[in-house]
Amino acid sequence: MNNFENVKVYAEKLGAKAQFNVPMKTMTTFKIGGNAGVYIEVETKIQLSSLIKYFNENDVDYIVIGKGSNIVVNDNGIDKAVIKLKGEFLNVSMLDNETLYCGAGLSLAGLCKEAESKCFSGLEFAWGIPGSVGGAAFMNAGAYGGEMKDVIYSVTHIDKNGKLGTIKSADLKLGYRHSVYKENGFTIIGVTLKLKHDSQNSIRARMDDYMGRRKDKQPLEFPSAGSVFRRPEGNYAGALIEKCGLKGKSVGGAQVSPKHAGFIVNTGNATAQDVKDLVELIQTTVKKETGYDLKREIIYLD
């Protein structure tokens, strides 16, 4: 049973910052959601390890969030401790002339800039993907023919007992929007990446090219959670949704983007329920008219 008063006291004893009444809409790219049960910012592995062990020993529900780019939070909030990675989890260090270690809390954009500055190539595909490094490893994020599995050497985590561990790439079960961390419940704290050298100008040119394509095709001007659905075998979610005449369809403040039907955007006052209702409408319509079952890529937090 969650006792967030005790959680807050324990977190503060560890030196972590803990608060009540923090709206999750300020923590997500969709700009939707009620308050966290308790919101905690951790800066060190020791703090995080101690908290995770405490949570599991005391049956406290918790979630670690990155940039909140793939989640839809309930309008009434979530009865969980929400952990945000700060401090050392934002650091990048060069291990050798082709390997970087990056904290899980850093944004993918920040990692791409660091790699470019060191003339490391291999992450250009990730330039413009919203989200954190940890989230990208968790979901095996990808775009434009590249995926995190192409560059991940290993992932470091904290298990449910608060113990540090590392899993090498061969054992990460990296597939389409999947990793072993979707199965084991461990918390990713850092990623080691094996990259290649190239000229900074060439790296920057590729990054600019991918960003140009994103701006041209994706509704970056509105809050969203990125692609809503997984890619169905043999087709594309956006194409199926458009084929069914749902491009531009709205439920409340949630709208199927007129720019890219694979995105649902918040036009200003969308609720989580608006998004869920629109997702259900899309799934029902696409199934009826095309036979395809669209599976959600976005995660509901209730």
Q: Which residues have a catalytic role annotated?
A: 177, 227, 297
Burial class (CB in 10 A: 0-12, 13-18, 19+), 169: middle
Q: 10 Å Cβ neighbour count for 116? A: 19
DSSP 179-210: -THHHH-PEEEEEEEE-EE--HHHHHHHHHHH
CB distance 253 to 270 below 8 Å: yes
- Give phi and psi for 153, each to the nearest 5: -95, -45
Task: Indicate the pairing of strand 71-73 with strand 299-301.
Answer: parallel
Q: Which of 100, 130, 137 is nearest to 117 (CA)?
A: 100
CA-based R_g, the chain, Å: 20
Closest Cα partner for 284 from 235, 249, 233, 258?
Answer: 249
Using CA atoms, how far residue 77 sits from 4, 22, 37, 136, 270, in Å, is 14, 10, 7, 24, 15
What is the dihedral sign for C-alpha 221, 225, 227, 229? negative
Is-contact 78 36, C-beta < 8 A?
Answer: yes
